[in-house]
């Protein structure tokens, strides 16, 4: 698949309403961890169909808790 086709496919996946569960983007077929929201002016969100999204959230929580405990 050409690079342009992949980019168009990713745009179609992130704009597909079936991949959105409320405000959460869930698409295990999409390899991106961070995806643009339906309205790009609102920023980016995590792909909750990708395991690394959960790993990142847990890591951030652990860092915050560690700073609270050790300070």
- For residues 39, 42, 17, 3, the Cα torsion angle rounded to the nearest 10 degrees is 70
How high is the pLDDT of residue 50? 94
What is the reported pLDDT for 5?
81
Question: Could you tell me the residue ranges of all domains in the chain?
Answer: 3-70
CA distance 20 to 16: 7
Q: What is the pLDDT of residues 8-57, one digit of tens each?
A: 888 888 899 999 999 999 999 999 999 999 888 999 999 999 999 999 99
pLDDT of 1 higher than 60? no
pLDDT at 32: 93
Q: Against a cut of 0.85, is the pTM above it?
A: no
């Amino acid at each position: 698949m050409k690079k342009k086709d992949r980019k168009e496919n990713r745009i179609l996946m992130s704009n597909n309403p079936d991949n959105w569960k409320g405000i959460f983007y869930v698409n295990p077929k999409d390899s991106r961890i961070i995806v643009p929201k339906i309205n790009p002016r609102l920023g980016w969100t995590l792909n909750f169909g990708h395991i690394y999204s959960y790993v990142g959230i847990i890591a951030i929580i652990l860092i915050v808790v560690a700073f609270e405990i050790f300070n």
